Amino acid sequence: MLHELQQAMAEALLSADAAGDSAANRLIRGGKLDANRRLEVYRYNVMHNLRGALADIFPVVNRIVGDAFFRHAADQFILATPSLSGDLNQFGREWPAFLAGYAHAADLPYLADVARLEWAWHECFHAADAAPFDLARLAAVDAGAHGGLVFRLHPAVRLLASAFPLLRIWQVNQDDFKGDQRIDWQQEGDALLVRRDAGDGTGAGVGVVIQCLPEGAWRFLCALRERGSLERATAAALEADSGFDLQGFLRESVQSGVIIDFARD
């Protein structure tokens, strides 16, 4: 009986037509409010909370399209993609893909990528922490074996490529942005590194950093993300940029916490 009621409630709350003679209506006792009215109140709260969660995670998308557009799109998304977790931080993963196919956003071809960037930011902010790179452990490995090592990226690192000037779009749509808001739509797209910044190391000032990467550095980190060895990652980087500075970029990536560990291939 309980399972039947829970299933009926879920269907009624996330239905485009909540009113009427649903299974939930027949299972809910009336009182001062009849069953249908009780469902309407509950449904309003569910939709409001899920819509609010999306707005919190995707403020730039909201700013670009406006509240009315965002609300309508969010309602359609919620009905089509019910939350599978009680943690609202997990809700919204499919939002970028939804926007990519959303007919009303066809005139904003960059919008889905903006949502992808915001989700990457969100994931980095909430990702697990990790111990810093153990340089002494690396020093104990024979230099001749370094090419076969597989370096691991921090859990709070995401790599994102777009055909649009994504970082510029994100920057000019921040509440504290001051300056020229014009965007050059003819410029090349971005290859972005999104990572969590540890601040001063005490927990103060922790935030998320978004930075554009040169092609060589982008290919290098993408190869590491796919568990490629240092040798294969370096080859991919040099193919894109013959001047790629392996030692410099590797040192920078370790110091910034982008690379945190290694294993043998």
Distance CA(222)–CA(239), nearest Å, equals 13
Q: How many CA atoms lie within 13 A of 15 on its CB side?
A: 18
Tell me the pLDDT of the chain (265 aa) as tens digits: 555 555 655 565 566 555 445 555 555 555 555 656 666 777 778 888 899 999 999 999 999 999 999 999 999 999 898 877 778 888 999 999 999 999 999 999 999 999 999 999 999 999 999 999 999 999 999 999 999 999 999 999 999 999 999 999 999 999 999 989 999 998 999 999 999 986 655 455 569 999 999 999 999 999 999 999 999 999 999 999 999 999 999 999 999 999 999 998 7
- The DSSP output letter for 127 is S
Nearest in space to 189 (alpha carbons), one of 161, 164, 217: 164
One-character DSSP codes across 4-46 = HHHHHHHHHHT-S---SS-HHHHHSPPSSS-HHHHHHHHHHHH
Nearest in space to 195 (alpha carbons), one of 136, 109, 254: 254
Predicted TM-score of the model (pTM): 0.86
